[in-house]
Structure 1
Amino acid sequence: WAWKARALLEEKNFGPEWMEMVEVWFQCKEKKGFVSPTKGVAAKLRPVQVGAWVQRARTGKPDIKDVEEFAASWTKWWQEINPPWRKGIVPMPCTDGCWSSMDLPGPNGFLNVLICLKWWRERLQEESEGWKEAVGDVKWV
């Protein structure tokens, strides 16, 4: 699943920060042995497009009518799934702490966060500051 997901994330080169983020994600999955547990990232506040994509066996393109609304939805979800000590405005504090709540391998885990960033960027005419900050924050995590 991880190789297929990586290919999907790398379909378009959104710049060095994006490619580095994908590589960091892939290396983390590799270290975990590409396990595929059923537990995933919390669905609370998750963009509705993620659920639809998962139901379609992670194929096709999402229905995103308003990219700003989608970005706001992703940001609220990202803030929700981060550890309590790291809540705040993106980019959030980059400090040490317990990350066990974010250790979510498998296709229902962190991949959903990354695929949303891909969809967000695909809908933009050009790279936005908000998207760049989000990618940087996810890469740091």
Structure 2
Amino acid sequence: MDETSPLFVISVAAELAGMHPQTLRQYDRLGLVSPSRTAGKSRRYSMRDVAHLREVARLSAAGVSLEGIRRVLGLEDEVAMLRVRVRELEAALADEMLNRPGRRVFAAGSHGEIVTIKAGTRTRRENAVVVWRPLER
């Protein structure tokens, strides 16, 4: 079992979140917290859903509108998914670096061209200041 397993009927989830079951139905209609459904269409809430309900209550008590809460929860979910994706990419990169010793590294040259450099070396950086002035018409 994990935090996303649908375990709780609406009455238990409401009690865990400190809310009335009708409030949970309203939040479901608004899309704030969308529980899983059984074959008979009854709601089943996970621990993650209960945590979201508690967050909704906290934000609501702080004066955030329901639409604002929906947006905050959506962004938090997106950040969590992006963190998972970053970890996956970091692991893939680490595997690739271990499996391909002697790899080549590429960098951008001063004029935008692609330059191959040896692994472990640094490119020389220019410190010049360039001033751009548009052509006068």
What TM-score does the superposition give when structure 1 sets the normalisation length? 0.28
Which has more radius of gyration?
Answer: 2
| Greater strand fraction, Structure 1 or Structure 2 | 2
| Greater helix fraction, Structure 1 or Structure 2 | 1
What TM-score does the superposition give when structure 2 sets the normalisation length? 0.28
